Structure 1
Amino acid sequence: MNCKNIRQKVSIRAVLESFSRFPVKENRRTAFYFALDRDEKVPSLSVDYVKNTAFDFGTGKSYDVISIVQQIKQCSVSEALQYLSALDLSFDPGQLPVEKPSEVSYKILKIKKIRHPALIQYLDARKVLEQKHFLKQIDYEFYGRKYFGIAFENNSGGFEVRNTYTKLCLGLKDVTLVRAGSEPTSEIAVFEGFFDFLTFRNLENKLNSGCDCLILNSTAMLFKAEQILQEYPKILLFLDNDPNGKSVALKIRNDYQNVEDCSLIYHGYKDLNEWLIKTKEP
Structure 2
Amino acid sequence: MNCENIKQKVGIRAVLESFGLFPAKENRRTAFYFALEREEKIPSLSVDFIKNTAFDFGTGKSYDVISIVQQIKKCSVSEALKYLSALDLSFDPGQVPVEIQSEASYKILKIKEIRHPALIQYLKSRKVLEQKHLLKEIDYEFCGRNYFGIGFENNSGGFEIRNAFTKLCLGPKDVTLVRAGSKPTAEIAVFEGFFDYLTFRNLENTFNSACDCLILNSTAVLFKAERLLKEYHKILLFLDNDANGKSVALKIRNEYHNVEDCSLMYHGYKDLNEWLIKTKVP
Give the whole-Å Cα distance in 2 for the aligned partners of 1:41 and 1:10: 29
The TM-score, its normalising length taken from structure 2, stands at: 0.83
Distance 1:72 1:123 in 2: 36
Structure 2, unaligned runs of 5 or more: none
- Residue aligning to 1:41: 41
Q: Which residue of 1 aligns with 2:230?
A: 230
Q: Are 1:12 and 1:65, in contact at CA under 8 Å, matched by a contact in 2? A: no
The offset of 1:67, in angstroms, is: 5.8
Within the alignment, does 1:82 sit opposite 2:83 as a pair?
A: no
Other-structure match for 1:244:
244
Contact 1:54/1:62 (<8 A) preserved: yes
Q: Aligned pair 1:62/2:76, yes or no?
A: no
How has the CA–CA distance of structure 1 residues 275 and 194 changed in structure 2, closer, same or farther, with 3 Å as cutoff?
Answer: same
- Check 1:38–1:133 CA distance in 2 against 1; reply closer, same or farther (3 A cut): farther
For the Cα contact (< 8 Å) 1:137–1:149, is it kept in 2?
yes
Structure 1: gaps of 5 or more residues? none
Offset, 1:204: 2.2
Partner of 1:105: 105
What TM-score do the two structures reach when normalised by structure 1? 0.83
Asked whether the equivalents of residues 240 and 270 of structure 2 are also in contact (C-alpha less than 8 Å), the reply is yes
Is the aligned partner of 1:129 residue 2:129? yes
CA distance in structure 1 between the partners assigned to 2:37 and 2:271 by the alignment: 22
1:277, 1:70 → 2: CA distance?
Answer: 38
1:237 partner SS:
strand
Deviation at 1:217, TM superposition (A): 1.4
Say whether the 8 Å CA contact 1:126–1:273 is kept in structure 2. Answer: yes
Deviation at 1:2, TM superposition (A): 6.8
CA distance in 2, matches of 1:213, 1:116: 28
The verdict on how the C-alpha distance between 1:170 and 1:265 changes in structure 2, with shifts beyond 3 A counting, is same
Hey, what does 1:186 align to over in structure 2?
186
Counterparts of 1:179-218 in structure 2, within 5 Å, are 179-218=179-218
- The answer as to whether partners of 1:24 and 1:34 remain within 8 angstroms in 2 is yes
The one-letter amino acid paired with 2:255 is D
Q: State the superposition RMSD in angstroms.
A: 3.1
Contact 1:55 1:63 survives alignment (8 Å):
no
In the TM superposition, residue 207 of structure 1 has moved relative to its aligned partner by 2.3
| Letter of the structure 2 residue corresponding to residue 46 of structure 1 | S
The alignment partner of 2:205 has SS state of: helix
The question of whether the paired residues in 2 share the 8 Å contact of 1:66 and 1:77 is answered with: no
Aligned partner of residue 246 in structure 2, secondary structure:
helix
| Matching residue of 1:119 | 119
| Matches of 2:149 and 2:157, distance apart in 1 | 16
Q: How many residues align?
A: 273
Greater displacement, 187-196 / 42-51: 42-51
